[in-house]
Chain A
Amino acid sequence: MTDKDKKIKTEFIASLVRLYGKDRSSLLPVLQEFQKKFRYIDEYSQQEIADALSIHPVEVNSIISFYAFLYDKPRGKHTIRICKNIVCKFHGNKELSKFMEKKVSEFNKDKSEESKITIEYVNCIGLCDRSPSMLVDEKVYEKINPHNAEAILEELS
């Protein structure tokens, strides 16, 4: 990371801390906003955030590792989270996953790390009555089959 990048990040963190307050309870909103802008929370920024909120870097790290929606490592542009729970399984999530894996690997071919799609399997997202379901970034998709999945993927590219 160049000094310039560092400066930009530090300033952004400072502005978030001004917005949410210099208190450990501001940690989650700060992390969320930071991630929205920079896609993941790197080592440097974790320490800057800790410093700005007067907590320890390892505490920031601990919080990030606890929440599935916060990342401390770079990831692609989009994350698809497919539910792996039993109801979704009954409703064909196996076929769906197979299809998605294939499509996404085609999609990711020749793409830079940053514009790739990541697939994750997650526990129940609370949409059993409309299963199989998945999340694309923060958007919910219900009753998915290979047909409408293709359309969703097309939207991403």
Chain B
Amino acid sequence: MNTMEKTLRSPVSQRPHEIKKTDQLTGIGAEVSIELNGIKMKVPIGKTILEICRDNNIHIPTLCYHEDLCIAGNCRLCLVEIEGMRTLQTSCSFPVTSPIKIKTFSDKVRKARKHIVGLMLSEHYGECYSCVRNNNCELQSLAREYGIDNYEFGHICSPRYNVDKSSQAVIRDMDKCILCRRCVRTCIDLQEVGVLEAVNRGYDTKISTFMDKPLADVVCINCGQCINRCPTAALHANDPSDEIWKAIEDPEKHVILQTAPSPRASLGEEFGLPPGHSMTGQLNTAARRMGFDRVFDTNFSADLTIMEEGTELLNRLRKALVEKDTSVRLPQFTSCSPGWIKFIEHFYPEYLDYLSTAKSPQQMFGSVIKTFYADESGIDPANIVNVALMPCAAKKFECNRPEMNSSGFKDIDYGLTTREMAKMIREAGLVLPDLPKSGFDDPFGEASGAGLIFGSTGGVMEAALRTVYELVTGRVVPFKNLNIEVCRGMKGIKEASVKLENCRPEFSFLEGIDLKFIVAHGTANAKVVMDMLKNGELKDYHFVEIMACPGGCIGGGGQPIPTSESIRKLRAKAIYEEEAGLPVRKSHENPHIKYIYEKFLKDGPCGKLSHKLLHTHYVKRGKFIN
């Protein structure tokens, strides 16, 4: 017994852990020698035990830890044993600062973890075979990992809570919640929306909305990011696949699937492929075999969006610079992300005029299909069922917005997420990666690469610049291979500019102007940008792209689970790679776009018919809940 132990009266657990001198203490990057499962190694001071274990391919179970989120340390599953410490320590929140000896799977550790899982299961109402997360649930895999073969601490037999099905996007089933608070940290820290928090204490603790109101009545922007990070089925999307199957089986109905770029880049993950494989062709085949009557490419309407949004930007610039119209709002903000739209409607309602009035590609396509396509193909629009395969939970809300019926019908009938599509493909008995590739149906055919890169953060900006720059100057954008690298990458807020020189005569008012733009993703970053706008710091900016989800659509709330920055980067890479090989890479050069402006939207982009079909208005919601 050393002197400290002799003189201290406090119980062992409360004694300070003595920090031994490290090997080298000069400057950042100092190292300390530790022993991990008996293996000696040097690690940088401050790295957590969990990180060290991951670096060394040692698996530590975690539930509350998530790469995208701050550390919470509340699930206790990542416990490890440290020699000399009486209690087990949570590796996710234990930075190494002294030469310690760690055991990650001692008897004590394994028993503790098994008990923790057992205790979680004792309050976990539900059975895996009737659960949407069956086979992709972190709790379930832990139960397997720790060999849980009975309910050691009992099992709750009746539900404690009602399932909240009020939202069109997110369903909350709190009986499956294990209180890891990933959703809370997602919604507050990552998205800055602040819908969810833990309320009450002890056994009564639960995750709740403000005053326990239905999710549809609070400020939820439907981004679905909480779903992607929930380890269990407590949060899941509102699944319309039963209705879609019904429509497919109805011979009267003409069921059209439009596929957005991001689901194609991630769908393979649902079939066991590593992230980063594009499944565009296979998906088309799968959809046809499942009985969809037509498969269209949302990139077509993304091209349409670029034409409309780009023209709108030029119109705004003309009004502001030539006509000196002070009512024109600049910078113009993109409007393709329905989560972002609801965010600004709630939190910055006084700035709605800054938004482009262009609808999102999904909704544009809906109204074009139920008017132009219905006409051309002689199908009664009342019999068309529009299904949109999206990476997004908010699209479910968007297509149900009451104003989204400019075709005279509900423009888009169902928003389907990547995960739900994968489920439908599995139900149809198809193995996606094994299917032959096929193309998209006419009259919209293959779209341009500009539409494809919409899927990643910065994509809309890049696509718009390619078109706007060329419209204004008559030359292609001054970037190598059309790749505007400044728009790419996962930095939260990116800004850059392009100089407009030697403009065409009709755009002489833009001569010499630095077209300044900002790209932000994740609504926490959107908030930063909006506060800059509020403080008058964006006066000389022209165009801002905002996507509600971290990483843009490839990180959408409907995408395969799990998600992390590295996964998002791989998905983005798949998109950019596919794009680089496409023959047409500029929206205005898409022949089908030219065709639709010749044949149907005859008064051109932002013309009268476009305004009716392709543009929309927004609702001042405000953040106060009554």
Contacts and interface: CB of A to CB of B under 8 A. Distances in A.
Contact of B210 (A51, A57, A66): A57
Contact of A47 (B188, B193, B624): B624
A65 B200 contact: yes
Q: Pick the most buried of B188, B199, B201, B218: most chain A CB atoms within 10 A of its CB.
A: B199
A58 B208 contact: yes
A142 B471 CA distance: 85
B198 A57 contact: no
B625 interface: yes
B383 interface: no
Contact of B197 (A43, A47, A51, A56): A56
A43 B626 CA distance: 8
Interface in B353-404: none
Contacts of A23: none
Nearest to A65: B199
A41 B144 CA distance: 46
A59 B625 contact: no
A62 interface: yes
A72 B211 contact: yes
B195 interface: yes
Interface residues of A, number: 14
A57 B625 contact: yes
Interface string B95-110: 0000000000000000
Chief secondary structure at chain B's binding surface: loop
A116 B379 CA distance: 69
A66 B201 CA distance: 6
A47 B201 contact: no
Interface in B209-235: 209-211, 218
A23 B85 CA distance: 37
Contacts of A47: 210, 623-625
Given A43-B625, A72-B211, A57 B199 contact: no
Given A61-B199, A66-B200, A72-B211, A56 B194 contact: yes
Contacts of B193: 56
Nearest to A61: B210
A61 B198 CA distance: 9
A62 B229 CA distance: 21
B260 interface: no
A56 B199 CA distance: 14
Given A61-B197, A62-B197, A66-B200, A56 B211 contact: no
A72 B208 CA distance: 14
Interface of B: 188, 193-201, 208-211, 218, 623-625
27 contacts: A43-B211, A46-B210, A47-B210, A47-B623, A51-B623, A56-B188, A56-B197, A57-B210, A58-B194, A58-B195, A58-B208, A58-B210, A59-B194, A61-B199, A61-B208, A61-B210, A61-B211, A62-B197, A62-B198, A62-B199, A62-B208, A65-B200, A65-B208, A66-B199, A66-B200, A66-B201, A72-B211
Interface of A: 43, 46-47, 51, 55-59, 61-62, 65-66, 72
Pairs of residues from A and B, 9 with the lowest C-beta to C-beta distance, nearest first:
A56-B194, A62-B197, A65-B199, A58-B197, A58-B210, A57-B210, A65-B200, A62-B199, A61-B210
